[in-house]
């Protein structure tokens, strides 16, 4: 296992905490003014029991990253509540449930490459690319006189994911979305 600084923890990482393996679901840096110091707020889920917890980890603290075997896989298709992936080397197919993906399914389009992490030959997590490009299928029309300022509106993407986009984004346009935060990056 490798020790990493708390600031290097990312969504999808697997870390060892309290002698158990946890998958990071959300993580963000918090800096409190004054004498409080900075810390990472980490929401994680135990891969064995499925329980969730929130932890505050000081930024200078080191945590153990679990040794996993990442395998390059391609997402093929959705079948009911299952998502089918294919190993790029062996061409074996793997079916993972929507519950297992923990909200990551909104970023999956057929033929997208991902890393599936295995621990003792058992899938324990999916690592998405840093960003994906998705098509807007439904959003409010452009308001006359709207500028590119900080006014945002909800947009439904082709995978069913709903994100906030600037008011100038139209239906049918492609947008780049950050897979860690679910935020709009830019129009493509």
Domains of the chain: 2-65 (2.30.30.30), 69-127 (2.40.50.140), 131-187 (2.40.50.140)
Give residue 103's pLDDT: 81
Give residue 59's pLDDT: 87
Give residue 124's pLDDT: 82
Closest CA to 15 of 44, 58, 41: 44
Q: Residue 151 burial (CB < 10 Å; 0-12/13-18/19+)?
A: exposed
How far is the C-alpha of 74 from the C-alpha of 87, rounded, in Å? 7
Contact 14, 22 (CB under 8 A): yes
Residues of the chain predicted below pLDDT 70: 1, 34, 143-150
Contact 172, 158 (CB under 8 A): no
Give residue 71's pLDDT: 94
How far is the C-alpha of 30 from the C-alpha of 119, rounded, in Å? 31
- DSSP state, 119? E
The H-assigned helical ranges of 61-167 are 98-101
Give residue 47's pLDDT: 82
Q: How far is CA 187 from CA 153, 169, 173, 175, in A?
A: 14, 7, 7, 4
Give residue 2's pLDDT: 79
Residue with tokens 């493509």: 188
Residue with tokens 């909800």: 154
pTM higher than 0.75, yes or no? Answer: no
Give residue 33's pLDDT: 73
């Amino acid at each position: 296992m490798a020790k990493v600084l708390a600031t290097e923890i990312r969504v999808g990482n697997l870390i060892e905490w309290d002698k158990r393996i946890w998958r990071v679901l959300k993580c963000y840096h918090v800096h409190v003014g004054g004498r409080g110091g900075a810390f990472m707020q980490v929401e994680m889920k135990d891969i064995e029991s499925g329980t969730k917890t929130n932890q505050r980890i000081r930024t200078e603290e080191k945590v153990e990253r679990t040794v996993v075997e990442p395998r390059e896989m391609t997402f093929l298709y959705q079948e009911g509540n299952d998502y089918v992936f294919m190993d790029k080397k062996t061409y074996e197919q793997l079916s993972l449930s929507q519950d297992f993906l923990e909200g990551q399914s909104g970023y999956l389009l057929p033929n997208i490459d991902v890393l599936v992490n295995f621990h003792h030959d058992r899938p324990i997590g999916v690592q998405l690319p840093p960003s994906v490009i998705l098509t807007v299928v439904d959003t409010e029309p452009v308001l006359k006189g709207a500028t590119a300022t900080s006014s945002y509106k909800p947009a439904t993407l082709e995978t069913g994911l709903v994100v906030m986009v600037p008011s100038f984004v139209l239906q049918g346009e492609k947008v780049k979305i950050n897979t860690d935060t679910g935020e709009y990056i830019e129009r493509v």
